[in-house]
Amino acid sequence: MPATSGGRVDVWRRLQALRRAGHEIALLCWMDAGRVEPPSPAILAELQSVCRDVKLLPITRSLPEIAQRLLQLWRWPSHVASRWVTSRHAGLLDWARGFAPDVVLLDGLYGGAVAWELARRLGAPMVYRSHNVEHRYMNDQQAREERFARRLGLAANCVGLERFERQTVARAVQVMDISLEDAEYWRAQGFSHVSCVPTLVDAGFAARLSQAPADKPYDLLYFGNLNTPNNVEALRWLVGAVLPRLPARDLRIAVAGSRPTDAVRALLATDARITLIENPADMAEVVGQARVLVNPMLAGSGVNLKSVEMLFSRAALVSTSVGVKGLPEAARRCFAVADAPEAFGAAIERGLGEAAAETEHRTAARALFSDKALLAAIQQAIVPPTGLAIGGRP
């Protein structure tokens, strides 16, 4: 927090939607105390405005903690073990019993060992929200990571990851997958209790985008985190293979996102037309400043949240096929999709030549990612196995 990157934004918006629907939430989460600052009083207050109770556990990366994680690698991937180790003496069972949940919602894979233990001890059903086919996604990330220490950490996390992911899918009474394609992958593996539940773009983000100025300061914008291997690879392809095919010297290009690596800074400096916007406080304000939005992703699974957010702008939209992977067809048809540098550049030029306009297609696509659509999908997914009422006050 504040939620500024895709995965965190997705979780936070979903929590807010459930609270708006009248449901009470106890939130168990972890923070990387070795790399980030503790949450400020304002951020804690924001969490507590949505969640009735918040339990925040630090992952300290101390030597004893790392040693305990290593001892668990025969059972679990490193990221799973880190959450188990830091939870063992935190009084979680008494805390959870005090809340008495109807459902344990595992949002993302890595709290899976803790969530399953709590669900089992409490006698509550566990529902799993899948963000990716995680073992394929992490193997892709590890193959693309160039920093040795990060590559080593990703390799440790990939050990046993597929086995644990399959076990988690099997244990859940229902799996709510973010992606149509990923849901189909699991169903093809014999898991019939998997359905697609869309991500959400909140009304505030959409409203801020609708107020964007007509006179745009940028012609072209890429936005997203600027440090994960697949995003860095996408930027390399955009800057090295696509932008040379757009030779106009007065082209105004922006790249916006969080925590750019030194390699990203050096890459962007090779084209004087590019402006780097670091750690923007409000991505909606930035997204509304461009005539064409691009998503040049070359690898990934799940759904690219940036592509969903792009739908709420009035800009022309250009993406690779990976960038729109997992989206419903009604959303995909709003993009010019191209995978070769020449075709991607040509699609950008066409977008620059078009006047910004709302279309029926884009309006219909936006409705797929609303509070109403999210809560209806959750209702359909988890009511049969749990008997709960989702989407109205309990």
Same domain, 65 and 151: yes
Residue 288: partners with Cβ closer than 8 Å, 6 or more residues away = 208, 209, 211, 212, 213, 313
The pLDDT, as a whole number, for residue 153 is: 77
Same domain, 105 and 141: yes
Q: Please provide the average confidence, as pLDDT, over all residues in the chain.
A: 87
Is there a domain that residue 394 lies in?
Answer: no
Query: Taking the model in full, what pTM does it have?
Result: 0.83
Same domain, 233 and 173: no
- pLDDT one-digit tens code per residue, 316-370: 999 999 999 989 899 999 999 999 999 999 999 999 988 666 678 888 999 888 8
Same domain, 193 and 304: no
For residue 5, what pLDDT band results from cuts at 50, 70 and 90?
Answer: low
DSSP of 285-312, one letter per residue?
HHHTTEEEEEE---S--S--HHHHHHTT
Is there a domain that residue 36 lies in?
Answer: yes
Same domain, 258 and 330: yes
- With a cut of 90, say whether residue 246 has pLDDT above it: yes
Q: Please give the structure tokens belonging to residue 244.
A: 């040379």
Is there a domain that residue 391 lies in?
Answer: no
- pLDDT one-digit tens code per residue, 6-19: 677 888 888 988 89
Is there a domain that residue 286 lies in?
Answer: yes
User: Which of 73, 156, 76, 157 has its CA nearest to residue 116?
Assistant: 76
Residue 250 CB: number of other CB atoms within 10 A?
A: 6
Give dist(CA 6, CA 327) in Å, integer: 15
- With a cut of 90, say whether residue 61 has pLDDT above it: no
Is there a domain that residue 28 lies in?
Answer: yes
Same domain, 245 and 345: yes
Give dist(CA 9, CA 331) in Å, integer: 19
In this prediction, residues 155-182 reach a mean pLDDT of 89
- Cβ-contact 133, 142 below 8 angstroms: no
The pLDDT, as a whole number, for residue 250 is: 94
Beta-bridge partner residues of 318 = 294, 336
Domain containing residue 144: 6-200+370-386
Same domain, 43 and 152: yes
Same domain, 215 and 140: no
Same domain, 364 and 375: no
The pLDDT, as a whole number, for residue 392 is: 42
- Cβ-contact 107, 18 below 8 angstroms: no
In this prediction, residues 254-277 reach a mean pLDDT of 94
Same domain, 163 and 299: no
Q: What is the DSSP letter of 272?
A: T
Same domain, 112 and 169: yes
Is there a domain that residue 309 lies in?
Answer: yes
State the number of CA atoms in the 13 A half-sphere of 382 facing the CB.
Answer: 27
Task: Name the domain count of the chain.
Answer: 2
User: Which of 132, 141, 145, 138 has its CA nearest to residue 159?
Assistant: 138
The pLDDT, as a whole number, for residue 87 is: 86
For residue 394, what pLDDT band results from cuts at 50, 70 and 90?
Answer: very low
Is there a domain that residue 393 lies in?
Answer: no
Same domain, 103 and 116: yes
Q: Quick one: what percent of the chain has pLDDT higher than 90?
A: 47
- With a cut of 80, say whether residue 301 has pLDDT above it: no
- With a cut of 70, say whether residue 266 has pLDDT above it: yes
Q: Quick one: what percent of the chain has pLDDT higher than 70?
A: 93
Is there a domain that residue 392 lies in?
Answer: no
39 against 98, higher pLDDT: 98
The pLDDT, as a whole number, for residue 49 is: 92
- With a cut of 50, say whether residue 298 has pLDDT above it: yes
319: CATH: 3.40.50.2000
